[in-house]
Amino acid sequence: MEMELDIRITKKDLYDYQLHHAYTSPSGLFGTIVGCLFLVGFFNTGTPLYLIIGAFVILYFPWTLHIKAASQAAAPVFQKPLHYRLSEEGLEITAGEERQLVPWESVIKASSTGKTVLLYTSKVNAFLFPKRELGERSGELVQLISRYVSPDKVKIRAA
């Protein structure tokens, strides 16, 4: 079983990935909880400083991720579609003249957001497959990933 795709990665795709990654990590969840506690403190005491700190903590993270996504999207690699070839050997990515083969054994986790299928090769690096780019082939991609990646590493929710 083999599949080839041309995928355009946009700022919105990168932001979706970064939000998912940030808010499924302990530090992202902790920051949100701390921000919410400050807001609760404001509602209980009426102290404006609690409102300012809580709003800052809650809004700072998404804002910085948005800026980071915009910066990454401006990189030359994302100016043209990436060509992916998924086969028994692994995931081959071609960007311009650069070509890289990632064996399936290097995939540590396959997951998804509501908008993107993600193949992680480390705790912070993932290949993105936006569902809007996949269209009808989304199911085919998930089947192929499930075929080559250990079931305990696949946590892709239905579209």
- Residues 85 and 137 grouped into a single domain: yes
Chain centroid offset of residue 122 CA: 12
What is the chain's pLDDT, residue by residue, as a tens digit (159 residues)? 799 999 999 999 999 999 988 888 888 889 889 999 999 999 999 999 999 999 999 999 899 999 999 999 999 989 999 999 999 999 999 988 889 999 999 999 999 988 999 999 998 889 999 999 998 898 899 999 999 999 999 998 765
Domain boundary among 73, 103, 118: 73
CA dist 30 → 16, 23, 107 (Å): 19, 9, 27
The pTM of the full predicted model, rounded to 2 decimals, is 0.84
Q: Which range marks the domain in which residue 26 is found?
A: 14-73
Residue 84: give its domain's CATH number. 2.30.29.30
- Residues 89 and 150 grouped into a single domain: yes
- Residues 60 and 129 grouped into a single domain: no
Distance in angstroms (rounded) separating the CA atoms of residues 69 and 19: 10
Q: In what order do the strands lie in the sheet with 154-155?
A: 126-130, 116-120, 109-112, 154-155
Instruction: Please state the domain count of the chain.
Output: 2
- Residues 58 and 85 grouped into a single domain: no
What is the identity of the amino acid at 75? A
- Residues 80 and 44 grouped into a single domain: no
- Residues 119 and 146 grouped into a single domain: yes
Quote the pLDDT of residue 158.
62
- Residues 68 and 98 grouped into a single domain: no
Quote the pLDDT of residue 96.
82
- Residues 90 and 65 grouped into a single domain: no
- Residues 82 and 150 grouped into a single domain: yes
Distance in angstroms (rounded) separating the CA atoms of residues 118 and 155: 10
Distance in angstroms (rounded) separating the CA atoms of residues 153 and 151: 5
- Residues 82 and 134 grouped into a single domain: yes
Quote the pLDDT of residue 87.
94
- Residues 45 and 96 grouped into a single domain: no
Domain boundary among 22, 44, 73: 73
C-alpha dihedral sign at 80, 114, 138, 94: positive
